[in-house]
Amino acid sequence: MEELPVELKGRVAERLEAQLERGVEGWLHRAGYERREGLEAGQQSGECQGCGTRKARLFWRNGHRRRQIVSQSGVVDIRLPRVVGACGESVAILFTLLRTYQRLWEDVIDQIDGGRG
Ligand SMILES: [Zn+2]
Query: Cα–Cα distance between 71 and 83 in angstroms, integer?
Result: 25
- Per residue in 65-91, pLDDT (tens digit) is 898 877 777 788 889 889 999 999 999
Per-residue pLDDT tens digits for 38-48: 545 445 678 89
Percentage of the chain beyond pLDDT 90 is 15
What is the DSSP secondary structure assignment for residue 4, as one 8-state letter? Answer: P
Give the pLDDT score at 43.
53
For the chain, the structural domain boundaries read: 6-116
Sorting pLDDT into bands at 50, 70 and 90, what band is 37?
Answer: low
pLDDT confidence of residue 96 = 61
> How far apart are the CA of 111 and the centre of ligand 1, in A?
42
* pLDDT class of 117 with cuts at 50, 70, 90: very low
Please tell me the distance between residue 50's alpha carbon and the centre of ligand 1 in angstroms: 4
| CA neighbor of 100 nearest in space, from 76, 71, 73, 66 | 71
CA of 28 to the centre of ligand 1 (A): 15
∠ CA 76-29-34, rounded to 5°: 130
Please, what is the average pLDDT of the chain? Answer: 77
